[in-house]
Chain A
Amino acid sequence: QSALTQPASVSGSPGQSITISCTGTSSDVGSYNLVSWYQHHPGKAPKLMLYEGTKRPSGVSNRFSGSKSGNTASLTISGLQAEDEADYYCCSYAGGRGVFGGGTKLTVL
């Protein structure tokens, strides 16, 4: 039951765009359109940012977007803002279980 693979860290300056990848296998990311992304500020509850790979819940900025190609899903944040600095996790349905990525720490320079 391996975790999805994410880069440990990414960084960008305010106003720039960054992309976080989430690589799984044909048993999870590659087989289902059920990839979700979460923003987690330490000490707070995680927040759903995208679901079904590309859909934004009500209230989430349109600066957050998602895509998928094969076994890899991606989260793109455009127009970086200081408050985007957080940990980001992807999660995929994997046939009766859920699997998270290892998490990516986003630093806004």
Chain B
Amino acid sequence: EVQLLESGGGLVQPGGSLRLSCAASGFTFSSYAVSWVRQAPGKGLEWVSGISGSGDTTYYADSVKGRFTISRDNSKNTVYLQMNSLRAEDSAVYYCAKDSSNGVAFEFEFWGQGTLVTVSS
């Protein structure tokens, strides 16, 4: 059974940093791309960042480029999202999502339950 478990969310002050983790199981982790997708309170889904199965290709939304860094450790079946220079508008539930292929195709077969990030002073 495919499982994705996010962790690392919490309350952080504007300008601060946070690292999210997504621990995966139930599939050949290195064969699939993974993305982070967020949903701000009362808003829709927003794709944030994606990484290929091998980890050699990464993608970012313009809204987070230069502030967020996605990475993965295939030996630990885990994807990370390092979030720096956080802003109030980054407050959201962050989901990690397994793609349908090794490359980032933005077709998310499975999702985690999400982790809440709140940026506030």
Contact = CB atoms under 8 A, between A and B. Distances in A.
A102 interface: yes
Interface residues of B, number: 26
A43 to B, nearest CB: 9
Interface of A: 1, 3, 34, 36, 38, 40, 44-48, 51-52, 57, 87, 89, 91-93, 96-103
A103 B45 contact: yes
Contacts of A40: 45
Nearest to A102: B44
13 contacts: A1-B62, A34-B105, A34-B107, A36-B108, A38-B45, A45-B111, A46-B37, A48-B108, A57-B109, A93-B105, A97-B61, A98-B61, A100-B45
A2 to B, nearest CB: 11
Contacts, number: 70
- Which secondary structure characterizes the binding site on chain A? strand
